[in-house]
A and B are shown apart, each in its own frame.
Chain A
Amino acid sequence: MYDSGKVMAGLVIFGCLVTSPIWYNALTGKSGYIPKPKIVTDKKQCIEPKEYIRTRHKDLLKDWRESVVRKGIRTYTGSDKKRYTMSLTRTCMNCHSNKLDEFCLQCHNYMGVTNNCWDCHAYPKGT
């Protein structure tokens, strides 16, 4: 191979540049933490099991949205046969009311997820 020294050096520099965000976050400790969403409520149980909510809360909220807006149906029957009103501000925020930054945004920021729910949906501040 011609100029193998230069090529290898170039490859090493390229590799460093490409992976630099990872190094940067690792060294500054920006991603070295585990997000800890805080839940302030006396309720023991979310409307569905924790694992289900963790992985699929987005699907659930999307289904609620379709159901309420497009079908006009607002009652959700959970897998434990309990009934809930499909409302982000009234049902979800009843328990997870401790400011967005302590709950939703903990993971969303960590994962770089942005959504615009709160541009329209409002809930009483500081409750």
Chain B
Amino acid sequence: MEIDRRGLLKAAGLSLLGLVGGSVWYVISRAKLPEPSPTPKTLVGKKWGMVIDLKKCWGTDGCTDCIDVCHRVHNVPRFGNPKDEIKWIWTVPYEKAFPEHQLEFIEEDVRARPVPVLCNQCDNPPCIKYCPTKATWRREDGVVMMDYHRCIGCRYCMAGCPYGSRSFNWKNPRPFIKKINFDFPTRTKGVVEKCNFCQERLIQGLLPACVEACKERALIFGDLNDPDSDVRRILRSRHTIQRHSELGTKPKVFYVL
């Protein structure tokens, strides 16, 4: 059989179509999944922020309500040694939280007072720039989120965070959780975790767990873009400080004294 160039090309094209046509059609003909939709209850904010009133916080000595509730609802393990410690919200002495505010003649007991610290949910977060897998990113509402599915445990974000707000799971945390909250996943060995501003609660129309748990109402949460919100009211009327604001990270957790 004689075959010319034209005939060969036609035959080759048709054979190729026959080979891949079926699978291509299978891929493009598959039904699209329906689009998800938000619920009407979801708290919507343009830029979530928090104010911590230290005078109120120091009202009760030795209170750890915010820490306890946060670590309980988020399945934060307790390893019992500082090397493996996982922290979402914790306290540090005033002089460690605000080293740049050290005044020589500051009241002696203020230096050692516990300051609750958590992820500052920076507006310009250094951690997300370091993440090679985009496992951490800044949401539209300003919350710096973690996707544990994507985290490869390289810990660059921990090196990037000037606040030490990120913790690494050196061991499987499951056995070190007293009582697992089944509404929130635990983490696994080899991922980094941190405070998520309770985004899982905001969706359900609830305030962050620490804010709700504080008896002294020392934690105030709200939308920084809304001029009538509680946080904005306090920011207007009182002098606030931020942790390491000189670094340009634009923290969204403010402290008032």
Contacts and interface: CB of A to CB of B under 8 A. Distances in A.
Given A72-B139, A72-B199, A72-B203, A122 B37 contact: no
B7 interface: no
Interface in A69-127: 69-79, 86, 89-90, 116, 119-124
B36 A76 contact: yes
Interface stretch (B65-73, B184-192, B208-216): B184-192
Interface string A42-86: 000000000000000001100101010111111111110000001
Interface string B164-199: 000000001010000010110111100000000001
A89 B145 contact: no
B7 to A, nearest CB: 37
B80 interface: no
Contact of B203 (A70, A74, A90, A119): A74
Interface residues on B, range: 20 to 34
B149 A65 contact: yes
Contacts of A120: 148, 185-188
Given A72-B139, A74-B203, A121 B185 contact: yes
Nearest to A116: B188
Query: Could you tell me the dominant secondary structure of chain B's interface residues?
Result: loop
B33 A122 contact: no
Interface residues of A, number: 26
Contact of B147 (A70, A73, A75, A79): A70
Given A69-B149, A70-B147, A124 B182 contact: yes
Nearest to B39: A75
Contacts of B203: 72, 74
B18 interface: no
Nearest to A69: B147
Given A122-B180, A122-B182, A124-B182, A77 B37 contact: yes
Interface centre among A73, A89, A124 (most CB of B within 10 A): A73
Contacts of B199: 72
A23 to B, nearest CB: 31
A59 B147 contact: no
A75 B145 contact: no
Nearest to B150: A69
B22 interface: no
Contact of A79 (B34, B149, B187): B34
Q: Which 10 A-B pairs have the closest CB atoms?
A: A119-B188, A120-B185, A73-B36, A67-B36, A122-B180, A69-B147, A121-B185, A120-B188, A77-B34, A75-B39
Interface of B: 33-39, 75, 137, 139, 145, 147-149, 172, 174, 180, 182-183, 185-188, 199, 203
26 contacts: A59-B33, A65-B149, A67-B36, A70-B145, A72-B139, A72-B199, A72-B203, A73-B36, A74-B39, A75-B36, A75-B39, A77-B36, A77-B37, A78-B34, A79-B34, A86-B36, A89-B183, A90-B182, A120-B148, A120-B185, A120-B187, A121-B185, A122-B75, A122-B182, A122-B185, A123-B182
